Structure 1
């Protein structure tokens, strides 16, 4: 009788660790919530090192757990427009850039050249090439050439452009 009781108690302890889906398995799998959330984000399309504007927008939207319609409403645009930006089908117009940068919380492209500075400053201000040229006292053709890297702005003008951009980098229009 004693042997039966000890076998019974041994079975009771095994039964307390018994998993209903895997009856032959007596161990528990554990994972942190962060790891599971990250795995879920990656499954939905989250990109750890985004390169295009669309990848940046998609990753930020998934991180905030927002739908495309909710983001479009925040940016004051149509869901269809936002969807096309996220898929990298079209580039947003100049007036949307300040809101996009505010939504992302950073400027999504590297500033490795004067062309990058000119383009970032123009996008932060939300100006067309013509309007930006008037602001820095240059013609639109020059601004276009600076952005494409076919020519560089004079050093004094580049310093002025960087001065214009400096206070805007941390500022949020939304």
Structure 2
């Protein structure tokens, strides 16, 4: 597959594909679901046994920024940042962790690298 085909598939420019290939830039999170589907596996190194790993896996699979994840979960974006750094608790943490665990069990269709 040539860069123009990939660019069309991911709805980006061919230059963007070149930058990704040469590590000059990284794909934005909204492109992650398409990349995961194209590759047929989850290319991100995450420990999904941890709360922070579950959050990132969910965000990456769904192409969500921390801000959009926070909005969907009705929490402050700063809370998401702290949680992904392995810090903080918060009253909704147990509820969100249960949701994420259930989601990953039922929707992780690709092996994690």
For 1:140 and 1:160, the matched residues in 2 are separated by 18
TM-score (normalizing by structure 2): 0.76
**Deviation of residue 156 (structure 1)?**
3.1
| SS at 1:111 equivalent | coil
**Deviation of residue 98 (structure 1)?**
0.9
Rate the CA distance shift 1:69–1:118 in 2: closer, same or farther, 3 A.
Answer: same
Aligned length: 106
For 1:139 and 1:98, the matched residues in 2 are separated by 24
Rate the CA distance shift 1:109–1:136 in 2: closer, same or farther, 3 A.
Answer: same
Unaligned 5+ segments in structure 1 are 1-65
**Deviation of residue 152 (structure 1)?**
6.2
For 2:88 and 2:24, the matched residues in 1 are separated by 28
TM-score (normalizing by structure 1): 0.53
Unaligned 5+ segments in structure 2 are none
Runs of at least 4 residues of structure 1 off by over 6 A? Answer: none
Q: Quick check: 1:115–1:152 contact (8 Å CA) kept in 2?
A: no
Larger Rg: 1
**Deviation of residue 94 (structure 1)?**
2.3
Q: After superposition, what is the alpha-carbon deviation per residue over 1:104-131, rounded to whole angstroms, capped at 9, x for unaligned?
A: 1111123323222211111111122121
Larger RCO (CA within 8 A; separation ≥ 6): 2
